[in-house]
Amino acid sequence: MTHVWEDVTLHNSSLPPLAIKNPECLGLLHQLDRSTDMWVQHYCILKDGCLYFYAGIRSTRASGGLYLQGYRVNEQTLSFKQSVIELKPPSEEFKTFYFCAENKAENQRWITALKASIKKWLPLHQAIQDFMNRPLEETRM
């Protein structure tokens, strides 16, 4: 049995980038390819906790995607790039990703959007814990 978000993500990845409705962020990002130590440019769309990668703005479908639930977003300095976006996974079994935009202001725009997108999708146990920690008067119906 698949989760509804898997269906939505599969559907979104089959769309051209500008056909995805109400993206949280979009634009060019460079991703560090750790095997070659080279930066690869992608046109990216952030939507509902998933980052979709396209070869370019005119692509007909995504070339890849990254589920962001549980990832932490940090700003790092890496090699010659002044400011790099680090996406750190919830456990060591997953890969850490590094991205950079064209300039520091664009990096900040992406960092803000990535953090907000990830925060929207709290794990159920964390949402319940947050609810249980609220004052009693806020939890009454």
25 lies in a domain? yes
For residue range 118-133, what is the model confidence (pLDDT) as tens digits?
Answer: 988 766 556 666 667 7
Residue 98 lies in a domain: yes
Q: Give mean pLDDT, residues 68-91.
A: 86
Q: Is residue 92 part of a domain?
A: yes
Is there a domain that residue 11 lies in? yes
CATH code of the domain containing 106: 2.30.29.30
pTM for the whole structure: 0.80
The DSSP line for the chain is ---HHHHHHHHHHTS-GGGSSS-SEEEEEEEEETTTTEEEEEEEEEETTEEEEESSTT-SS-SEEEE-TT-EEEEEEETTEEEEEEEE-SSTTSPPEEEE-SSHHHHHHHHHHHHHHHHHS--HHHHHHHHHTS-HHHH--
Per residue in 39-50, pLDDT (tens digit) is: 999 999 999 999
Domain count along the chain: 1
- Report yes or no on 118 lying in a domain: yes
